[in-house]
Structure 1
């Protein structure tokens, strides 16, 4: 059944003082384009700032753990009665940090963590306790927080990758830390940083609201397992833009509980592309909605723009737009997989599935590294609905022809679409 665009409601991002809103009265038509929000890169304040230099609290760039000194500096800046406080990591120095959690709420109205120097994680797994295994540096329950400065965070992830069950099949699958975690933070800005070689995910936004993340460089080797660049979970009203990301997993992954997500001007590669999901693992409920991904360049990634769900889950991924995307040598340029199975054990057939509906692909061009460049592998019991393709051109530089595989999907096409799903959908 073809999509009826006049009945396909999609988010329109309007940005006003850091808050997104959705206008249900605007409808997609074949020629319409969702409007992106306006944004600035920060506001100037005339209020006095008080600076808390970590060196003044005992931090030393001598290869010894500085986590206690950083905690003291944080407590001082967080409890400051000034309108604006700055925790300063001085330039031209490298500070070793064991796992560090910096908590709010804070007395200071605005807090800036100015990382001008470099932070380095321990290279031995023994420096983490079991309680620390999900983070290296974590900010929790902080409002009006900015983290910036031009410095580098080095996760020293090599020892974790070597002992991953994805690299060494003989070892059990254990968790590993995320380099930089923001949990339950609001009015958050993260900008002008380099994060590299994380133990697992590089940056996680968990249950946050009103977030801007931009001018980030995130790097890890292509073989490093589970090293997603930016992972968004349970977060709403988030903008991610002007970032360079190359890792061993998804450049950006958006999972359950996330809505009003705007991604723009990303260069991704190597890695696994831009992903919604995975969703619905272990028969769980998942909801993702109102996602706009535009002006993305993907180079040599294993996937381009992807939606992935496990069998047996429930919930939905809906109102999603991928547009103005260029790909070079991408193995799975456009893919929806409702039979995702990242497990040592085979996944058995189940009837329940996370619903995928209201997905639009517009102006996506480039080269595919495989012969199938459009792959919709949807559930027979919960098929993909209201999927629209417009102005698609994905070719292969090799001798085989680019083609599509469209199974259990209700789709429509406008403009020139190659390869097309017409005539083969719902196989």
Structure 2
């Protein structure tokens, strides 16, 4: 992702509404996690049912425990700490004071009522005493003066080093989408553990909307993320160096990746995602600047992708190293997507340096064990499936199962596959690679 200048953003939900009307889940099928999550090894082959039921039961227990405890939690209202709540006066200090009270006391809820709050960059830091919740019902708007970001130009709101944090409430975080030199991420969770984030609207970020980094055991659901299609580098949900994260039931439309998964991420699952406009769901980029990047155990199960530049993509830089492995994309509907299925293992930026000639690379991010299953819909280009892999370090063990992609006008689409070792087909697969 390369930063470019931004423009004032305007929110438009019409295309999301249209997508909801266009797509249907009737043809989607569920598949167990066992194929990529090797830590699941029940005594009998239950088809993943035991694991899914355990997850549902665990989630229900956690929700019940939270509901039962909420009545006894101390409520700390930002309005009681001097917030003007008019959307014009800086309320940052009131939020900081309220957070200090919540963090120091534990067993507490930071309450943001249905008012409007103007905020400069804030870092809500831990460690805190146990059982912290943040209930955002109102609208938080980012300060628009570039000088407000002098101390931290890359972040607006940050929660860091907190365990057992629950953030929710149905409110809105408005990143203000105006030009800023280094473009802050709207909402960042850094070094958090046992984190739940749900039912929030995040819009018009100056760069990434929501970032999870160096965190573990994360559940994300019910997010609505929106920015104009021409807004640069506005990834919806960004995952880096994070393990065991579940993203579900979210609608994302931006000017960049709906979901981006990069270095150090492991056991990432995205389910029931609506994506568009934007650049699709991406693993990468990986290996930039000859770095060693590793991701594994990635699963996208149930997505509706429309009007995007890419559908499901794996993108690695020339000259990098490491691996992207044990990846599964399944039960996905494409509508007018330019590159529905794409692997680019030879990415380079011609503006910065010449691209390497094929076969001259000394290293590459290896791509292996990738499954595409139950993917259908339309391509905005003639090539619906494109695997552009390294000549010296080819993609390994790529499986296509039950694929049905055609051009938007109904013509047959093409598949181009270069340097794939052990490419396999199961069931109906259209288009198939002409070069195997």
**What secondary structure sits across from 1:304 in the alignment?**
strand
Residue of structure 1 in register with 2:77 after alignment: 53
Using the TM superposition, give the Cα deviation of residue 127 of structure 1 relative to its aligned residue in structure 2, in angstroms.
1.9
Q: Distance in 2 between matches of 1:399 and 1:10?
A: 33
Residue of structure 2 in register with 1:102 after alignment: 124
Q: 1:159 aligns with which of 179, 192, 201?
A: 179
Contact 1:124 1:159 in 2 (8 A): no
Given the alignment of the two structures, is residue 413 of structure 1 paired with residue 425 of structure 2, yes or no? yes
Q: 2:363 aligns with which of 338, 352, 359?
A: 352
**What secondary structure sits across from 1:64 in the alignment?**
strand
TM-score normalized by structure 1?
Answer: 0.87
Contact 1:12 1:26 in 2 (8 A): no
Q: 1:87 aligns with which of 110, 120, 126?
A: 110
Gaps of 5+ in 1: 1-8, 14-20, 161-173
Q: Distance in 2 between matches of 1:251 and 1:347?
A: 29
Question: CA offsets per residue over residues 51-97 of structure 1, 9 Å max, x none?
Answer: 000011111113111111111100000000x5x21000011x11000
Given the alignment of the two structures, is residue 231 of structure 1 paired with residue 238 of structure 2, yes or no? yes
1:342–1:90: structure 2 CA closer, same or farther, 3 Å change rule? Answer: farther
Q: Distance in 2 between matches of 1:34 and 1:241?
A: 20
Question: CA offsets per residue over residues 365-404 of structure 1, 9 Å max, x none?
Answer: 0000000000000001110000000000000133753101
Contact 1:133 1:176 in 2 (8 A): yes
Question: CA offsets per residue over residues 17-50 of structure 1, 9 Å max, x none?
Answer: xxxx4449999xxx99997573436333434200
**What secondary structure sits across from 2:211 in the alignment?**
strand
**What secondary structure sits across from 1:74 in the alignment?**
helix
Contact 1:12 1:35 in 2 (8 A): no
**What secondary structure sits across from 1:282 in the alignment?**
helix
**What secondary structure sits across from 1:398 in the alignment?**
coil
Contact 2:348 2:355 in 1 (8 A): no
**What secondary structure sits across from 1:102 in the alignment?**
strand
Contact 2:339 2:380 in 1 (8 A): yes
- The CA RMSD over aligned residues, in Å, is 2.2
**What secondary structure sits across from 2:331 in the alignment?**
strand
Q: 1:118 aligns with which of 129, 136, 139?
A: 139
Residue of structure 2 in register with 1:262 after alignment: 269
How many residues of Structure 1 are paired with residues of Structure 2 in the alignment? 388
Contact 2:257 2:278 in 1 (8 A): yes
Residue of structure 1 in register with 2:156 after alignment: 136
Q: Distance in 1 between matches of 2:352 and 2:44?
A: 45
Gaps of 5+ in 2: 1-33
1:34–1:396: structure 2 CA closer, same or farther, 3 Å change rule? Answer: farther
**What secondary structure sits across from 1:157 in the alignment?**
coil
The residue correspondences of 1:243-254 to structure 2 (distance < 5 A) are 243-254=250-261
Residue of structure 1 in register with 2:286 after alignment: 279
Contact 2:37 2:267 in 1 (8 A): no
Worse-superposed segment, 409-418 or 238-247: 409-418
Given the alignment of the two structures, is residue 322 of structure 1 paired with residue 344 of structure 2, yes or no? no
Using the TM superposition, give the Cα deviation of residue 132 of structure 1 relative to its aligned residue in structure 2, in angstroms.
1.0
Given the alignment of the two structures, is residue 384 of structure 1 paired with residue 395 of structure 2, yes or no? yes
Q: Distance in 2 between matches of 1:370 and 1:25?
A: 46
Residue of structure 1 in register with 2:99 after alignment: 74
**What secondary structure sits across from 2:185 in the alignment?**
coil
The answer to which structure has the higher helix fraction is 2
Q: Distance in 2 between matches of 1:321 and 1:73?
A: 43
Using the TM superposition, give the Cα deviation of residue 351 of structure 1 relative to its aligned residue in structure 2, in angstroms.
2.8
Q: Distance in 1 between matches of 2:175 and 2:429?
A: 43
**What secondary structure sits across from 1:79 in the alignment?**
helix
Residue of structure 2 in register with 1:6 after alignment: none
Question: CA offsets per residue over residues 299-326 of structure 1, 9 Å max, x none?
Answer: 1010000000001111100000000000
1:236–1:65: structure 2 CA closer, same or farther, 3 Å change rule? Answer: same
Contact 1:332 1:373 in 2 (8 A): yes
1:96–1:26: structure 2 CA closer, same or farther, 3 Å change rule? Answer: farther
Using the TM superposition, give the Cα deviation of residue 352 of structure 1 relative to its aligned residue in structure 2, in angstroms.
1.0
Residue of structure 1 in register with 2:7 after alignment: none
TM-score normalized by structure 2?
Answer: 0.85
Contact 1:11 1:23 in 2 (8 A): no
